[in-house]
Chains A and B, each alone.
Chain A
Amino acid sequence: MDKIRTRRRPPAADGAPTEMDSDQRSKFEIVAREDFSDATYLLEIYHPLMAKAARPGQFVIVMAHEHGERIPLTIADYDRDEGTITLVIQAVGKSTREMQQICTVGHCLHGMVGPMGMPSEIGQGQKVLCVGGGLGVAPIYPQARGFKENGASVIAVLGFRTSSLIFWKEKFESCCDEVIVCTDDGSAGLEGRVTEGMRLALEKHPDIDECVAIGPPVMMQGAAEMTRPQGIKTMVSLNPVMIDGTGMCGGCRVKVGDQVKFACVDGPDFDGHQVDFGDLMARLSRFSDEEKAAMQRWSEHCRMAQQPDGLETPPTAPEK
């Protein structure tokens, strides 16, 4: 597995950002990047003020370039000493693939705003199950760490499609009492989805009193169903389509119980037993036709740009 990690070190000898250093850094500069797989990548973005303000469970909205979309991304980690925000991104659509191409170390995002949303409530649970599926493994990390710092016993269940996509296992091992890895194809850890890992954990630890699950909607739904019989409090983090992230557009409205909530300002964390996942998944497909068209167009442009006589550039604004 090829994991390439690049980082631009601050010029100060001790590695701590100095005043001079912060002057030299541009706004929203990418200071480190790590590729977990050919589709998943990590970016560390310099934003000391945000690193100071961020709490587990919050998210940012980034714009890669002037013509870009506003993309909501859950904060995977933050480093107050280095002044950075960590994002883990999966290249699934046009915008995230394009970011994968242009977001190299030293590149500056057009914009990054946040931290948005209500911070997760790190509850008083004594034994907590933290479930992350795929990309959701990243944002579950600050929560696991938060629970540990609160004195809870933390069991992590991390689900991936296959062994080559596994990331941050060591990071979790450093702050969790137990880490269960599941892969869909059984190439590492337990074979099956995260629910298999959860079943194992729940059998072994009947005293689990709180659960947090982050991942694709169908995974969070499955996780919520696992804990429903025992009535274990289960929080999930929703990431619907949104534009402003400040409650202004209402695009991110979700059904929770009998109420309509805006994920950006009322969430993104909600009680998993109350969330209407069917509604969430339907709303996530709102722009699927447009997304497909944009993706196709983008791929064609990339292909043409790779041809020796392909003079055409990608359809969006080039890197500045």
Chain B
Amino acid sequence: MAKKRTIRTIPQERTPVAEQDPGERIRNFDEVSHGYGKEEALVEADRCLMCPEQPCVAGCPVGVNIPAFIQKVTEKDLRGAYDVITTTNLLPAVCGRVCPQETQCEGVCTVGDTLEPVAIGRLERFVGDMAIAAGWANVPYIEPSGFRIGIVGAGPAGMACAADMAKAGCEVTVYEAFHQSGGVLRYGIPDFRLPNEVIDAEMGNLEKLGVHFECNTLVGRLFTIEQMIDELGFHAVFIGTGAGYPNMLGVPGDSLNGVLSANELLTRCNLMHAREFPNYDTPMPPARHVAVVGAGNTAMDAMRVCLRLGAEEVSCIYRRSRAEAPARAEEVHHAEQEGIRFKWLTNPVAVLDDGEGGVSGIRCVRMELGEPDDSGRRRPVPVAGSEHDIEVDLVVVAIGTNANPIIGQTSKLALNKWGYIETDEDLVTSMPGIFAGGDIVTGAATVIEAMGAGRKAARNMRRYLGIRDADAPYRASGADTLFGIDLRERNFVRIQTST
């Protein structure tokens, strides 16, 4: 019998989400978006057409089965929805908050062809938050495979790889140079966008899988990558150390006190709690008028942190126009709401000295867009005679990062000409058993892309170790899976490879 076709109507606009009032929130570090409640989530979930093409799944770097989890939400089976997401993504509450959904799943959503796309990110966050509130995380028995895996860097790439290898029965140790795990989630993304409790909860799930964290460990210097294999007894290693070597402006006045990288500002504020100075010992540079150079997510975070720390005026200086700004649309929107002054098509040419080693202003030129460059974006060119000064006492530089040099300095791994680790398509480096992924391979990208790389590396690592690849149960979704492990086929079997 042919399936009966029904025509249904869906709300034209996505369900709005409650947010803290901009006037209120610039005085606190509480989360801006309150997220969906159950009712709102149900209304929004109903907007999904369950289209057979599922472009959203292909649009997700880790391939979350989005229609399946939304289906579970419409059935009010939130546990089921959580299980569907966590078969491929261990951190739904994090990703629901920080993924650039508009260029990924939501960007290709079928509903989005004619109406506003389904708010997939908000739904994912809703499910993730429900799981944290309910404490869903019972872990099945995993048969040990006998392999030991070392992960360098406890950021998104390393955690994704760690989770998958732990599920495959490996004994996983994650090394982190900072005193807390989380990588960019911890030091970079501020609390009002990603609260620490969310990171703790989702990282806690990793520990429940048996992943062991070693903080205060600088791999490369305390022991080398080679030593991890030769002396520490790891059968395979994944390097996910991130990009993390900030570009500075390279204009006169660059080294004045009062010029700092967004990395430094954010690390002081988030990881070191400088906003609670002097209860915490790390200080924050004083700032009344701030210029942030750049328009990526890091720049948005830096500007909004400055506002919350009491800056009177915060400007965003970006040499291209709003259309080219790399930040998530929602972040730009939130920043505008909070009163950030955007100076599009403006480029700094010098930082001005106040005569006491500090900053008195920033000299800029106006730009106009010329011919497209290699990246396909129109190249900004300076407008003659458009020099002007903006009065500021703090300049925050958020114009991207370079490859961190430590692993390159201390190992024989092949690097490309920019200093990033060279890998093949399977994320295999020039040394057997050593894999790498995330920003240290691709240059600065997003959290979810790093997680995608971590998972891909794990897949190839299992193949390298001769662990039967059990991606089939990963794809099989349903309420029976926990952390992607099908309860009926819960163990991975180690197959002896030819000697």
Once A247-B244, A265-B409 are accepted as A-B contacts, the answer to whether A115 and B221 lie under 8 Å apart by CB is yes
Q: Which residues on the B side are within 8 Å of A249 (C-beta)?
A: 246, 260-261, 263-264, 267
Across the interface, do A53 and B260 meet the contact criterion of CB distance under 8 Å?
no
Q: Which of B242, B248, B254, B406 contacts A265 (CB under 8 A)?
A: B406
A316 within 8 A of B: yes
- Give the CA-CA distance A11 to B216 in the complex, in Å: 27
- List residues of chain A with CB within 8 A of the CB of B404: 246-248, 265
How far in angstroms is the closest Cβ of chain B from A63? 6
Q: Which of chain A's residues have a CB closer than 8 A to the CB of B217? A: 113
* CB-based contact A250/B246 at 8 Å: yes
Partner of B283, one of A53, A63, A113, A291: A291
Q: How far is the CA of A68 from the CA of B282 in the complex (A)?
A: 7
B222 CB within 8 Å of chain A: yes
Q: Pick the contact of A243: B268, B278, B279, B285 (CB < 8 A).
A: B268
When distances are taken between beta carbons in the complex, the residues of chain A under 8 Å from B177 are 113, 244-246
* Cα(A290)–Cα(B277), bound, Å: 9
Q: Is A246's CB under 8 angstroms from B406's CB? A: yes
- Please state if B216 and A113 are interface contacts (CB–CB under 8 Å): yes
Contact of A69 among B221, B242, B282 (CB under 8 A): B282
Main secondary structure on chain A at its contact with chain B?
Answer: mixed
Partner pick for A112 among B216, B260, B405, CB 8 A cutoff: B216
In A66-103, the 8 Å CB interface with B consists of: 67-70, 94-95
Known: A67-B273, A251-B260, A316-B279. A286 touches B216 (CB 8 A): no
Contact A279 B255 (CB under 8 A): yes
Chain A CB within 8 A of B179 CB? yes
Give Cα distance in the complex from A70 to B179, angstroms: 10
Verify if A118 is at the interface (C-beta below 8 Å from B).
yes
Q: Is B71 interfacial (CB 8 A cutoff)?
A: no
Q: A243-B264, A250-B260 are in contact. Are A287 and B405 (CB under 8 A)?
A: no
* Interface residue A255 (Cβ < 8 Å from any Cβ of B): yes
Chain B residue nearest in CB terms to A290: B283
B446-464 contact mask (Cβ, 8 Å, vs A): 1 or 0: 0000000000000000000
- Complex Cα–Cα for A118 and B405 (A): 11
Q: Do A113 and B179 have beta carbons less than 8 Å apart?
A: yes
In the complex, chain B residues 115-173 whose Cβ is within 8 Å of any chain A Cβ: none
Contact flag A282-B357 (CB < 8 Å), given A113-B177, A265-B405: yes
Cβ distance B410 to chain A, nearest Cβ, rounded Å:
10
> Can you name the residue of chain A whose Cβ is closest to the Cβ of B357?
A282
* A side interface size, CB within 8 A: 49
Contacts A246-B244, A249-B267, A286-B257 given; does A69 touch B218 at CB 8 Å:
no
B283 to chain A, nearest CB (A): 4
A122 to B47, CA, bound (A): 68
List 18 additional contacts besides A243-B272, A247-B245; criterion CB under 8 Å: A53-B222, A69-B282, A111-B215, A111-B216, A113-B217, A115-B222, A118-B409, A243-B264, A243-B267, A244-B187, A246-B244, A248-B246, A249-B264, A250-B263, A265-B245, A265-B404, A290-B283, A294-B281
**Residues on B with beta carbons closer than 8 Å to the beta carbon of A95:** 281
19 A–B contacts, CB within 8 A, in A order: A58-B221, A67-B279, A113-B217, A113-B218, A114-B222, A243-B282, A246-B244, A247-B245, A248-B187, A250-B245, A251-B260, A251-B264, A262-B245, A265-B405, A282-B257, A283-B255, A294-B278, A315-B279, A316-B279
Task: Flag if A68 contacts B248 (CB, 8 Å).
Answer: no
Using a Cβ–Cβ cut-off of 8 Å, how many residues does chain B contribute to the interface with A? 42
> Complex: how many Å from CA A315 to CA B242?
35
CA distance A146 to B277 in the complex (A): 41
Chain B residue nearest to A316 in the complex (CB) = B281
Closest B residue to A119 using CB positions: B221
Known: A114-B218, A260-B254, A297-B278. A247 touches B267 (CB 8 A): no
- Which residue of chain A has the shortest Cβ distance to B282 in the bound complex? A69
- Complex Cα distance, B222 from A208, in Å, reads 34
Q: For the complex, what is the distance from the CA of A61 to the CA of B277, rounded to whole Å? A: 20
B273 surroundings in chain A (CB, below 8 A): 67
Closest B residue to A242 by beta carbon equals: B264
Q: Which residue of A lies closest to B224 (CB)?
A: A53
Q: Which of A243, A244, A255, A283 contacts B257 (CB 8 A)?
A: A283
Which residue on A lies nearest to B246, using beta carbons?
A: A250
- Ranked 7 nearest A-B pairs via Cβ: A290-B283, A249-B264, A248-B244, A69-B281, A250-B261, A111-B179, A282-B357
Q: Answer whether residue A285 sits at the interface, using C-beta atoms and an 8 A cutoff.
A: yes
> Could you tell me the distance between the alpha carbons of A67 and B281 in the complex, rounded to whole angstroms?
6
Contacts of B405 in A (CB 8 A): 247, 265-266
Q: Tell me, yes or no, whether A50 is within 8 Å of chain B by CB.
A: yes
Tell me the nearest residue of chain A to B266, going by C-beta. A249
- Chain B residue nearest to A117 (CB atoms) is B221
| Residue from B179, B223, B255, B279 in contact with A49 in the complex, judged by beta carbons closer than 8 Å | B223
Q: B178 interface residue, CB < 8 Å from A?
A: yes
CA distance A262 to B357 in the complex (A): 19
Smallest CB separation, B260 vs chain A (Å) = 7
Using a CB-CB cutoff of 8 Å, which residues 275-297 of chain A contact chain B? 279, 282-283, 285-287, 289-291, 293-294, 297
Say whether B221 contacts A53, CB under 8 Å: yes
From residue 107 to 127 of chain A, which have CB atoms closer than 8 A to chain B? 110-116, 118
1/0 per residue A226-248: CB within 8 Å of B? 00000000000000000111111
| B281, closest chain A residue (CB) | A69
* Identity of the chain A residue whose Cβ is nearest the Cβ of B188 in the assembled complex: A248
CB of A253 closer than 8 Å to a CB of B: yes
Q: What separation, in Å, do the CA atoms of A249 and B254 have in the docked complex?
A: 15
Closest residue on chain A to residue B242 by CB atoms: A248
Over the window 298-318 of chain A, the binary record of Cβ atoms lying under 8 Å from chain B Cβ atoms (1 yes, 0 no) is: 000000000000000001100
| B222–A286 CB distance below 8 A | no
**Nearest CB on A from B143, distance (A):** 29
* A250 x B222 contact (CB < 8 A): no
CB proximity of B284 to chain A, nearest CB, Å:
8
For B218, give its contact among A246, A253, A260, A279 (CB under 8 Å).
A246
Shortest distance from the beta carbon of A87 to any chain B beta carbon, whole Å? 15
Find chain A residues with CB under 8 A from B246 CB.
248-250
- Which residues of B have CB within 8 Å of A49? 222-223
Minimum Cβ distance to chain B for residue A264 (Å): 9
Report A216 CB to chain B, min CB distance, Å.
Answer: 18
